[in-house]
Amino acid sequence: MFRSTILVVSLLTLGWGLAPAFAATPATASATTQAQAVHVIVLDKMVFGPMPTGVRAGDIIEWVNHDIFEHSATARDGSFDIDLKPGATVRTTAKAGSFAFFCKFHPGMTGTLVAR
C-alpha cells in the first residue's frame, strides 16, 4: 500500500516551542532554517510505492519499510545504498538528479527518484 505524505516543516507553522523536539535529528534540524519537504517512499509486499513528485535538492526522503522482508534502496550509480530492515524508517537528503535504484536482495524491485 502506497502512502505518500509531504510535510512542510517550518517554524512559521509549528512555532518556536516545538523546535527542540525536532533538533535531535539532523534531517529535521535543517528545517529550522528553511522550509523543507519530507517525501515518504513506502515499501510493502515486495514493491516500492510510487515515487514522490516535486522533490527538490535538499528535501528529505523518508524510506519506510512496511514489508516483512529486509530490503535495500541501492542506487545504480552507487550514490546511495540504504539498508531497510523490516519496520525500519530511514531518512536521507535528496540530491539533484535522476537516480535509478533497486533492492539488492530482490533486484526486480526498482524505482527512479527524481529531484530538481
Partner 1 sequence: MNKSLFALVLTLGLGSLASVHAQQAPAAPAINDAQIAHIAYTAGAIDVTAAKQALNKSHNKAVIGFAREMARDHAAVNDQALALAKKLGVTPADNATSQSLAKGAAAEQTKLAALSGAAYDRAYAANEVAFHKAVLAALDGTLIPATQNAELKSLLETGSKLFHEHQMHAEHLAASLK
Residue ranges that bind partner 1, judged by CB under 8 A: 45-47, 68-70, 86, 105-109
In angstroms, give the least distance from the CB of 109 to partner 1: 8
| CB-nearer residue toward partner 1: 50 or 54 | 50
In angstroms, give the least distance from the CB of 114 to partner 1: 25
The three three-digit cell numbers of residue 106, written as one number: 530482490
| CB-nearer residue toward partner 1: 85 or 116 | 85
In angstroms, give the least distance from the CB of 95 to partner 1: 28
| CB-nearer residue toward partner 1: 11 or 88 | 88
In angstroms, give the least distance from the CB of 92 to partner 1: 24
| CB-nearer residue toward partner 1: 54 or 86 | 86
Output the CA–CA distances (angstroms, integers) from residue 10 to 18, 30, 35, 110, in the order listed. Answer: 10, 10, 5, 32
CA dist., res. 57 & res. 54, Å (int): 10
